[in-house]
Amino acid sequence: MPTVLASRVAKKHSGRGLPRADIQRRLEDIELATVSAVRALQMDVDGDPGVPSAAVLRKARLAIR
């Protein structure tokens, strides 16, 4: 009986994995968002009139979702 239950649990969890390409794309999106946010904060500290950090952080959060 426990083996039947274990095989049912394994079947439920086996379909949840993401394809490798999706994982790679998400990691690249996170890296890009992080770099953009850090650059915007650096520009704020340096007084550079580029894109405000709030706008970049908003875009970064959207990219992560």
Q: Quickly count: other Cβ atoms within 10 Å of residue 55's Cβ.
A: 12
Residue 11: the pLDDT is 53
**pTM metric for this prediction:** 0.49
2 located within any domain: no
Residue 8 pLDDT greater than 60, yes or no: no
Close Cβ partners of 52 (under 8 Å, ≥ 6 residues apart): 40, 44
pLDDT value of residue 55: 78
pLDDT for the residue numbered 2: 47
pLDDT single digits (tens) 12-47: 555 678 889 999 989 988 888 888 888 878 888 888
Confirm whether 38 is domain-assigned.
yes
Which range is least confidently modeled, 5-9, 31-35, 40-44, 60-64?
A: 5-9
Whether 50 is covered by a domain: the verdict is yes
Q: Confirm whether 39 is domain-assigned.
A: yes
Domain hosting 54: range is 18-64
Determine the distance from the C-alpha atom of residue 27 to the mean position of all C-alpha atoms in its chain, rounded to a whole number. Answer: 6
Residue 55 is assigned to a structural domain of this protein: yes
Residue-by-residue DSSP string for 10-35: HHHHHTTPPPHHHHHHHHHHHHHHHH
| Domain count across the chain | 1
